[in-house]
Amino acid sequence: MMRLLSVLLLFAALLGAHVGSPDVFYEGAAGPFRLLVTIRPPVIVPGVAEIEIRSASPGVREIRIVPLPLTGDGAKFAPTPDVAQRSKEDPQFYTGSLWLMSVGAWQVRIRAEGEQGTGELSVPVPALPTRTQTMQTGIGALLLTLTLILAVGIVSIVGAGVREGQLDPGLEAPPSRVRRARVVMAVTAVLVGAALYLGNQWWGAEAGNYSRIIYKPLELAASLQPGGRLMLRMKDPGWLRRRMDDLLPDHGHLMHMYVLRLPEMERVWHLHPEQVETGVFTQDLPEMPAGRYQLFADIVHGSGIPETLQAQIDLPALEGRPLTGDDSAGAGPALAQFDPGRTAAPLPGGGRMIWERGAEPLRVKQVAAFRFRVEDESGRPAADLEPYMGMAGHAAFVKTDGTVFAHVHPSGSVPMAALSLTAAAGADPHAGHAMATPSAVSFPYGLPQAGDYRIYVQIKRSGRIETGVFDARVQ
């Protein structure tokens, strides 16, 4: 009975191209206006996405927002957009809410108008179920009580109608009418009970059918082959009509994989396994010490839906092969030396990386600009930074208990492969994000949970990929 009266929503353990980090962050240009966009996808689908927009450019008069499918004919015909609400306290800040009506890849198209003209940008948003919710115990008990009262009331009213419906006022019902009323009440009780039972069965069947759209992330099996080659096999646990042969290259690679040594997380590798057949990737591992390793592997489907696959593997000490191309390695202090107050990290090529964090503490889901400045060996701003895979840098935000992982760019958390599918992306989705300043890189992101995090920041200097490691504690 309680299940009939409960609200069953949807569940998924992980979402999108991040682990435990469903919110979407994007910083880009809408014509002459620079906008920082935060989108909080709905936890159920259909559901409402919450939109927050901050304009870094003055003179914006109005911002309009509208949801569209990321690809297909639906992306060509936009409905009437909603007007985002300007904050009374902060005229550069706007908010709005949009319905995402089906599971899949969506985009939020944003149009800014102001003194300098108009401009548009689109931000991809995966609309996937994220968790279950049940009705509060108190409300469920109240509704159950009211249902029982209603059922008893129906039976009583029917019995009274049969027993006394044709009697004159003040007369008592004869025994025959009393017996007939009892029979009718019993039959009515059976019918009401059957209706409640069938309704409960129908609700259960609908909930079962609904489970087919519950997001189930791809599974990843990792094994070590002779010669130090890592074999990665993806397995689909069954979710809608997802494919594994439709992957899009993101920054020139079908897969970006971060490898962390456990439990101290003092070593990190950013690797790019090659696909050898559908759902199978391989990677020749570099020199690595023996230990247990956590793998986070990012992919983007042709639909624009990103996913992060996870696995753990125990490795012996490997001599390995030298890193080549965009593959890189980094090292920092062990978690036993966790220090959220440390703002400087030495770089292996000389110099150091400085986290220019403000005095304000980090807070849950509050977007911030994580800005890092690079100094050369003499302490001057480094003049030899160059793009790394088309960007000024890459950063991985990892909660120390492994429940959060996010691969973030200077443009935000949106994969470039998904961004390139939007109608408003233009010719080059990397434009404006390659090298914002000669010696610094910034990442817009909001940490999703309270706790301790490790941040791995990667930049490229004179052909060398270098990694700075930092610690963060979120209030």
Is residue 18, in this structure, part of any structural domain at all? no
Query: From its phi and psi, is residue 144 left (phi > 0), alpha (psi between -120 and 50) or beta?
Result: alpha
Asked if residue 88 and residue 31 are part of one domain, the reply reads yes
Is residue 4, in this structure, part of any structural domain at all? no
Q: CA separation (Å) from 169 to 160, 165, 173, 252, 298?
A: 14, 10, 11, 89, 79
For residue 181, what pLDDT is reported?
A: 80
Q: What is the pLDDT of residues 260-283, one digit of tens each?
A: 999 999 999 999 999 999 999 999
What is the enclosing helix (H) or strand (E) of 29?
strand 24-30
Q: Which of 188, 213, 238 is the last residue of a domain?
A: 213
- The answer on pLDDT for 349 being more than 50 is yes
With a pLDDT cut of 90, the percent of the chain lying above it is: 69
Q: 383 is written with which tokens? A: 């003049």
Question: The domain that contains 40 carries what CATH number?
Answer: 2.60.40.10
Average of per-residue pLDDT values in the chain? 89
Half-sphere exposure for 319 (CA within 13 Å, toward CB): 2
Is residue 9, in this structure, part of any structural domain at all? no
Q: What domain range is 54 assigned to?
A: 23-127
- The answer on pLDDT for 5 being more than 60 is no
Asked if residue 234 and residue 186 are part of one domain, the reply reads no
Cα 306 from Cα 415, distance rounded (Å)? 7
Cα 228 from Cα 313, distance rounded (Å)? 13
Asked if residue 293 and residue 403 are part of one domain, the reply reads yes
pLDDT band, residue 13 (cuts 50/70/90): very low
With a pLDDT cut of 70, the percent of the chain lying above it is: 92
pLDDT band, residue 9 (cuts 50/70/90): very low
- The answer on pLDDT for 4 being more than 70 is no
Omega into 289 within 30° of 0, i.e. cis? Answer: no
Task: Give alpha helix (H) positions in 90-225.
Answer: 137-164, 175-210
In 3-state terms, what secondary structure has residue 160? helix
Q: Which of 162, 194, 213 is the last residue of a domain?
A: 213
Least confident range from 21-25, 77-81, 175-179, 417-421: namely: 175-179
Asked if residue 250 and residue 177 are part of one domain, the reply reads no
In 3-state terms, what secondary structure has residue 212? helix
- The answer on pLDDT for 77 being more than 60 is yes
For residue 2, what pLDDT is reported?
A: 35
- The answer on pLDDT for 12 being more than 70 is no
Q: Which of 213, 247, 280 is the last residue of a domain?
A: 213
40 or 135: whose pLDDT is higher? 40
Is residue 366, in this structure, part of any structural domain at all? yes
Asked if residue 322 and residue 444 are part of one domain, the reply reads yes
Asked if residue 194 and residue 173 are part of one domain, the reply reads yes
Asked if residue 309 and residue 232 are part of one domain, the reply reads yes
Asked if residue 227 and residue 197 are part of one domain, the reply reads no
**Residues with Cβ < 8 Å from 251, sequence gap 6 or more?**
326, 389, 390, 391, 416
For residue 241, what pLDDT is reported?
A: 77
Asked if residue 322 and residue 447 are part of one domain, the reply reads yes
Asked if residue 236 and residue 121 are part of one domain, the reply reads no
Asked if residue 93 and residue 165 are part of one domain, the reply reads no
Asked if residue 187 and residue 66 are part of one domain, the reply reads no
Counted domains in the chain: 3
What's the angle, vertex CA 30, arms to CA 27 and CA 35, rounded to 5? 35
- The answer on pLDDT for 397 being more than 60 is yes
Q: What is the pLDDT of residues 357-375, one digit of tens each?
A: 988 899 999 999 999 999 9
Is residue 11, in this structure, part of any structural domain at all? no
Is residue 10, in this structure, part of any structural domain at all? no
What is the enclosing helix (H) or strand (E) of 106?
strand 104-114
Cα 74 from Cα 85, distance rounded (Å)? 26
Cα 431 from Cα 27, distance rounded (Å)? 12
State mean pLDDT over 163-177: 79
Is residue 13, in this structure, part of any structural domain at all? no
Is residue 15, in this structure, part of any structural domain at all? no
* Phi (first) and psi of residue 403, to 5 degrees: -85, -10
